[in-house]
């Protein structure tokens, strides 16, 4: 008698998407997980159902971020393994306090907190002063199609490195349509911008702003929580801008002292 063809399960579909997005064969994944390739094949086709331990082993082998790990757990019919609390929740109060202290201590230099979709969710006073009145608070949209494009004098230099960061995020979340749309937007806006070639004299590519009649050179640093076990905390990034020269330092201090 003919055996019924197994139906691909939600877990099987998610696993295949995550595996192929990272360029791994079933054999390579099975070797990293420590299970026969036949078992990986059965998981993808729906012949086998994974245990919670197997989902975690696969997640580790694929270096999945916490949100993607939760997706695999849910697809396997299991509860999410990692909390996903909003930043303003009581559960994240201590971490929110740390963020707010860092933002305040960074004044008079700009600092933004950006979520997994590059939305600015917190900012100190110096950073807020740079935000446009139109209400746009997405860092990608601001930089590539919004008010900041005309403020950044070396936009051609920083455009493609910024897209590289964005594409890396999208690769980690292959099913995230919001990130995919931001990549499309940025790439479309950056057509014609020159790409930095090997041998560039710039050690770190950082934005240079034209603010009023002044050129303000900055150095940007990205800070994140170490070894987070919460989805929101893992995805948060704190973008810190420092003055790159005396003129920029004086500009930020002078602006901060204005009434």
Residues 15 and 140 both lie in one domain: no
Q: Looking at residue 202, what is its pLDDT?
A: 60
Q: Looking at residue 3, what is its pLDDT?
A: 54
Residues 201 and 252 both lie in one domain: yes
Residues 46 and 122 both lie in one domain: no
Q: Looking at residue 258, what is its pLDDT?
A: 78
Kindly state whether residue 171 falls inside one of the protein's structural domains. Answer: no
Q: Looking at residue 5, what is its pLDDT?
A: 55
Number of domains in the chain: 2
Residues 206 and 149 both lie in one domain: yes
Residues in the chain: 259
Residues 6+ apart with CB under 8 A from 62: 18, 19, 22, 24, 29, 32
- Provide the residue range defining the domain that includes 60: 10-75
Enumerate residue ranges in the chain where pLDDT < 70: 1-6, 196-203
Tell me, what CATH number does 41's domain have? 1.10.260.40
């Amino acid at each position: 008698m003919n055996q019924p063809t197994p139906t691909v399960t939600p877990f099987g579909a998610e696993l295949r998407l995550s595996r192929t997005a990272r360029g791994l064969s079933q054999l390579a994944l099975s070797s990293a997980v420590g299970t026969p390739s036949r078992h990986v094949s059965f998981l993808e086709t729906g012949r086998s159902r994974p245990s919670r331990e197997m989902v975690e082993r696969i997640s580790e082998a694929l270096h999945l971020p916490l949100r993607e790990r939760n997706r695999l757990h849910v697809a396997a019919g299991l509860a999410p393994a990692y909390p996903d609390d909003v930043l303003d929740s009581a559960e994240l109060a201590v971490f929110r306090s740390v963020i707010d202290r860092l933002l305040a201590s960074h004044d008079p230099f700009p600092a933004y907190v950006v979520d997994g979709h590059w939305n600015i969710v917190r900012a100190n006073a110096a950073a807020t002063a740079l935000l446009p009145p139109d209400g746009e608070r997405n860092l990608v949209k601001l930089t590539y199609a919004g008010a900041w494009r005309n403020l950044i004098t070396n936009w051609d230099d920083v455009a493609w490195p910024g897209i590289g960061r964005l594409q890396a995020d999208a690769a980690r979340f292959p099913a995230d349509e919001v990130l995919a749309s931001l990549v499309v937007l940025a790439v479309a806006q950056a057509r014609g911008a020159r790409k930095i070639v090997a041998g560039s004299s710039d050690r770190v590519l950082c934005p240079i702003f034209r603010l009023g009649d002044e050129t303000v050179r900055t150095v940007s640093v990205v800070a994140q929580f170490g070894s987070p076990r919460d989805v929101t905390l893992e995805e948060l990034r704190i973008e810190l801008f420092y003055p790159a020269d005396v003129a920029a330092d004086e500009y930020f201090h002078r602006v901060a002292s204005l009434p």
